[in-house]
Amino acid sequence: MRRNKWSKLELASLELKKINKLIWRSGYSIPELLVVMVIIGGLFFLGSDTLFAPQRKNTSETTINTLLAEISNQQNKSMSGDIGSGTVQNSYGLYFTSTSYTTFRGTVYSGGNSTNFTTTLHPDLRFSTIDLPSSQIIFATSSGSIQGYSASHNSVVLQDSVGSVTKTLRFNQYGVVESVQ
């Protein structure tokens, strides 16, 4: 019977040495890792504008859609003869500030009225221009047309301060939003 010239212990020791060499040789140096991290970071930085721009656009589009629904709702309440919590048919309207809009009941906006409902805009959005008489739209009872309408003062401009997107809502005398540009 032929015997190996290596003992089992020596063979195991040689195997461990080979494994150690493979492990230590297959790693990356710190400079190599830093170069890869800088490249990946640069690509992320360059691509971040396209990654986050759709969210900003979606925020302004959602705000416009919500505002259009609120305008339509207030006009419908005026036209349908909604009396709210009172006994007399009311006019309904919207009051605009640079960072919010408020839906209200009555012929004049009153900040202290408990039936008012204020919607605050997303922090990146603001009304940069409020070109309406007294910063408000009031819909007439029954007809739903805008009370005190002025053809030269009939718009609000919503601006995204981060993405520099602007949307202009222009109203006609019947209370309809003619255009969103």
Element (H, E) at 36: helix 30-80
- Give the pLDDT of the chain (181 residues) as one tens digit per residue: 555 566 777 777 777 777 777 666 666 778 888 888 999 888 887 776 666 655 555 777 888 889 899 999 999 988 887 666 666 778 899 999 999 999 999 888 988 888 899 999 988 899 999 999 999 999 998 888 999 998 899 999 998 877 678 889 999 998 888 877 7
CA angle 153, 156, 157 (to 5 degrees): 130
Instruction: HSE, CB side, 13 Å, CA atoms: give it for residue 128.
Output: 12
Domain ranges of the chain: 30-180
CA 48/CA 58 separation, integer angstroms: 16
Is the Cβ–Cβ distance between 143 and 176 less than 8 Å? Answer: no
